[in-house]
Structure 1
Amino acid sequence: MRLTDLHRTTGFRLATLFLALFGAAALVLFSYLYVEITGFEKERIDDWLVREHAGVRREAAADLVESFNRQSQYDTRNQRPFGLFDPAGRRIAGGFPGDLPRIPYFDKPFPMRLEVLSGHPPARCIAARLPDARIALQCQNTRDLDHFDEELLHVLLSAGALTLSVGLLGAVLIGVGSMRRLDAVTASIRSIVAGDLSRRLPVHTKNDDLDRLVRVVNGMLDEIERLMHEVKGVCDAIAHDLRTPLTRLIASLERAQRRVMSEAEYRTTIDDVITEAVGIQRTFNAMLRISEIENGARREHFAAVDLASVAEDVFEFYEPAAEERRLSFTLHRDEAVSFEMQGDANLLFEAVANLTENAIKFARAGGQVQLELFRNPEGVGIRVIDDGPGIAPKEREAVLRRFYRGEASRHTPGSGLGLSLVNAVAGMHGMVVRFEGAQPGCKIALVKCAEASR
């Protein structure tokens, strides 16, 4: 952004708006201070004039000449010119130079220019008409007061101008800061659009509204990057894992095409092709199933599910397979404890069944497999335990990804999607797949945390 675009930034506009509001408030405050301070000084002079006026009214008529002359002796600078005038307006006593000026009204203070003095200074005066028709005039030179008013006005205007200048400078700095932050964010977004998915929007330590928005966007970018890597990994895994069965399928068809075979050999070849095709179809069905679960569309049909009933169904379903491998297959649960939770019974059955199938597949011959239901302050869940080769700690996160197959399972039948499906079902139900220590063997828990269930 250019500096000419400064006025378009939200920060500059908000700063200037608050500056205008503050300027209006300051103008009202300064005006109030000016009026009150100048008014106070004016009232103080008027109060003094009223007191002097009352003194003249109380004083004897014969003593007024002496009193006015005595006052003029102390007022050498004509700061308080007093004058006593006869009915014709000629000065009788006092230091007021010249004859009686025009009096707008009596017995109340009034402003007047002292034309008879040098510079024609302003003054506040009060006049009294005495019983003997004489007129007493008492004034207070207000040149110093007017100078004070001018200086006060200058100070207030200077303070206002300085405040507005500093405020405007602050608005410019805020606007420039906003422009720089937006430029940095824009540059990062352009880099991301250009293909650098590892780039993130810059975050400052202010933790303001923009930082909170940036953190949310960065979280979204993290998820997008993860999904993009996952899509790439899935594509690579599909190409790798399906290449072998497709190669075998094509080889079987080409062999049948080139060779002269008996009906039995043709039938055997067709059976092999069907087996390979069914395996490929099963892989794609599993992928579609995981995508359907991760979509979360079935979450709105959640209902109360007894996890113990799900475990019992899985136990009954796999008990023959365990007997075939001569495994000790047991189910442990506390009859007095409720294992009810919100969820989809079919999906939970599918997840527990996948864990159980893996346990039976990898348990050592004549070994044991256990299903264990538990409820504790942490939450409710089911644990599947076997005494097979287990999963190395460094592979425990990787096995939840699609098509990943650990070293122990690389040479066994399967597509590497079973634990991915379990993880998808767990995420849909607000559960976590937890690998717990088991020596030897593998112990996997599917846990619904207490906080998530509330």
Structure 2
Amino acid sequence: MPAEWPWATWPRFSAIRKTSTFRLAVMFGAASVLAVLLVLAMVYSLTAGNLDTRVDLILRAEMARLVAVPPADLPAAIDASSRAGANPLGHFGLISPGGRWVAGDLGASPPLRLGHTYAREDGPDVRGPLHILAERTAGGFIIMVGRDSTVITELRDHVLVILLASGLVVVPMLLGAGLALSLGPLRRVDRLQRVASTIAGGRLDARMPIEGRGDELDLLADTVNHMVGEVERSMAQVKSVTDAIAHDLRTPLTRVRNQLYRAARAPNLPEAEGQRINAAIEDLDTVLARFAALLRISEIEAGHRRQGFAATRIDELVAVVIDLYAPLAEEREVALLAGSLAPVTLVCDAQLMVEALSNLVDNAIKFSPPGGTVMVTVTREGGQAVIAVVDEGEGIPAEQVDAVVRRFDRGAASPAVPGSGLGLSVVAAVAHLHQFALELAPARADRARPGLAARIRAGHVPAM
């Protein structure tokens, strides 16, 4: 379906039928239909009961008139009533004490019930729905008086037709009303979800759209906007303080380092003093590296590098990083290997991706034991690009996976392993900027040394 058609972006029915508006519309509609059905049932019951009562009264009046006729004149009276035509809906019959038909147009068709009005659909004598009253006279004869009940039967049939027709008309109307009432709110919710995804992607300046109707969605959007505004303000203050501290302290610390460096190379300096000065320089280098990493993370999280995005061959970047860290891996007696490097092109910032991959490879080499292996691969999985760095180190416990991507958190890393606890934070910031997913999981089932599989999973990748 062409994307420019307006109905191409409409929500699916499976999503519409789950909305509260659709359910409420269907519930209220169903309640209305049920009320109408109850009213129709009451009308039918009252009308049919009234007609039955009137038929019963007419039959009993006719029966009283015939019972008063002398037994000798009864056959003639029955035949006269059947032929009179004064009551075209009436039928009469006379049965002898021995059960033989004597007069009239009604025979002794079963069932034959005495003293009570009963209904009969058809018979061999008179066809059609009848209400019949039969009574035995003092002489043993049975007088039968019947009346055509087609009106009652037709009323029942008409009510059933009305119910079926109402269902065929009302049910589609209910569904249509539910769809119509749900479409607008669902599309508004879809817009709210898109803005929420934008906010979750780091754009705290985005705001929920407000339609100005003052309904619950507008109230929710206004509340979320206020909340996001407060979060943006608080984060801006925290980042401002952090960046200011890192930026302001970097200059004096650099001057102190330079002075210590010159002092360490002064002539006639005792060896012990020189060692202490070099140790202080190393500590200052660690602090300066941490400040630089903090400022780098702030720059990445602020999204100032989005203008550097371009189509980039990720497999070529991975090959560059492997070549760059091969000497370090050799020095640590770790085998740095390139696995399957599928040709994949992603729209990204090449420098930031190299920085993220470098941090992953550097961590993998540092935490792999001598003789271990670090494998780097680029694969396609279900239309996604997956960049994986797998080592044979001690891995990261499942309960610490979320913590290690936070700043300065090194998890269960050994204090003997150098680092600032900011490497994975930089990787997470780069992945977040590109809207990629960073996954950290055990590389194997070995409990003693499970290793770590760090994967950067990109979105949809076009085939090459």
> TM-score, structure 2 length as denominator?
0.44
> TM-score, structure 1 length as denominator?
0.45
